[in-house]
Amino acid sequence: MHIGVPKEIKNHEYRVGLTPESVRELVRQGHQVFVEHDAGTAIGYNDALYRQAGAELVTVEEVFAQADLLVKVKEPQAEERARLRPGQILFTYLHLAPDRAQAEDLLSSGAICIAYETVTDAHGRLPLLAPMSEVAGRMAIQAGAGCLEKAKGGRGVLLGGVPGVPRGKVVILGGGVVGSNALAMAVGLGADVTVLDKNPDALRRLDAQYGNRVSTLYSTGVTLEEQLLGADLVIGAVLVPGATAPKLISAEMVARMQSGAVLVDVAIDQGGCAETSSPTTHDQPTYVVDEVVHYCVANMPGAVARTSTQALNNATLPFVLALANKGVKQALSEDPHLAQGLNLSGGILCNSEVAEALGLPSQSLSEVIGELPG
């Protein structure tokens, strides 16, 4: 199969879809890989390394023209979507639920679009989202701690405090992968940490791990509001796979938070968990609403692009190999977990959560897979 790796063009996005090591494995198994010039140079993967791995270095136009399978990191930007063709396979993060323009362009392209974030495993987890969620969760505390500095609009609070001075209060909404990793970092800094979740098993797991070093609370409207009003730093770490994130934090709640408090909304890729959240970039990561600093960067792991690329490739390569070795129809038919990643194909939506969020019609996954070219 011809596999293409374009250079990412989203703001400050330095990750790359395939590392030279992944390229070498694909070439070893008989595939031809086309990599755009300088696709990985920013993170130390120069063109020479890709050539040594067996890739052909080409222009972006040639990548899209030659590839049967495109492997990316972030959702295709408008100019990339315009290059897609019917039957071409796109394997990347999509996050379609809050992005109608992207969904409509992808439907019009006729491409076969498989989203990392909806691929599942035997336990119902999201194995291709997990590594970036781990990175984002850990980064959320780093970013939030920086935003709390007075010069950056924050309350001027040091999360770990010092002897004789209270520690900063961190409230984490969600005890999943993002929340657990944010919790580990916050505890490591010595913060006063509370995590809220509606899953008692998640709360038990965190309580067993951390004991009295953290507080765990079942999330209700009352407990959420009480915790928000006393927080120095709030981490939004909620996720409904494929769907728009629930708006847990109302604008009225934000208006009542402490002046200089910080909200890091990691759920922004899926629309954000606060009514006041809007996507930001690494160039301008924050804005202020009612004296609350909002950090809503939609590609947080891109800031640590080398680590993120390596972690992502560890998770995606087996699926890339399956698609390349078997072809898309056989790969999806044989692996129901990979099949869950198929969001749309040939102008038809087949992810019900995305369809519901966008108010668009959809067909069943099995019907759409059945119509794929053999």
Which pLDDT score, from 0 to 100, does residue 358 have? 95
- Domains, the chain: 2-111+304-371 (3.40.50.720), 132-298 (3.40.50.720)
**C-alpha closest to that of 104 among 355, 341, 342, 338:** 355
CA-angle at 269, arms to 105 and 316, nearest 5°: 80
Q: What is the mean pLDDT of residues 234-252?
A: 91
Q: Give the whole-number percent of the chain exceeding pLDDT 90.
A: 95
By the 10 Å C-beta count (0-12 exposed, 13-18 middle, 19+ buried), 175 is classed as buried
Which pLDDT score, from 0 to 100, does residue 192 have? 98
Going by C-beta distance under 8 Å and a sequence separation of 6 or more, which residues neighbour residue 142?
185
Indicate the pLDDT class of residue 18, thresholds 50, 70 and 90.
very high
In angstroms, the Cα distances linking 106 to 82, 99, 205, 274 are 9, 11, 40, 27
Q: What is the mean pLDDT of residues 239-259?
A: 92
Q: Judge whether residue 370 has pLDDT over 80.
A: yes
Q: Judge whether residue 254 has pLDDT over 90.
A: yes
Integer Cα distance of 353 and 24 in angstroms: 36
Which pLDDT score, from 0 to 100, does residue 142 have? 96
Indicate the pLDDT class of residue 11, thresholds 50, 70 and 90.
confident
pLDDT digit string, tens, across residues 71-109: 999 999 999 999 999 999 999 999 999 999 999 999 999
Q: Judge whether residue 373 has pLDDT over 90.
A: no
Q: Judge whether residue 242 has pLDDT over 90.
A: no
By the 10 Å C-beta count (0-12 exposed, 13-18 middle, 19+ buried), 79 is classed as exposed
Q: What is the mean pLDDT of residues 138-157?
A: 97
Average pLDDT, the chain: 96
Q: What is the mean pLDDT of residues 259-280?
A: 96
pLDDT digit string, tens, across residues 308-327: 999 999 999 999 999 999 99
**C-alpha closest to that of 351 among 109, 78, 17, 119:** 119
Indicate the pLDDT class of residue 239, thresholds 50, 70 and 90.
confident
Q: What is the mean pLDDT of residues 153-167?
A: 97
Q: Judge whether residue 241 has pLDDT over 80.
A: no
Please list the active-site residues. 95, 269
CA within 13 Å, CB half, 150: 2
Q: What three-state secondary structure class fits 342? A: strand
**C-alpha closest to that of 89 among 20, 201, 2:** 2
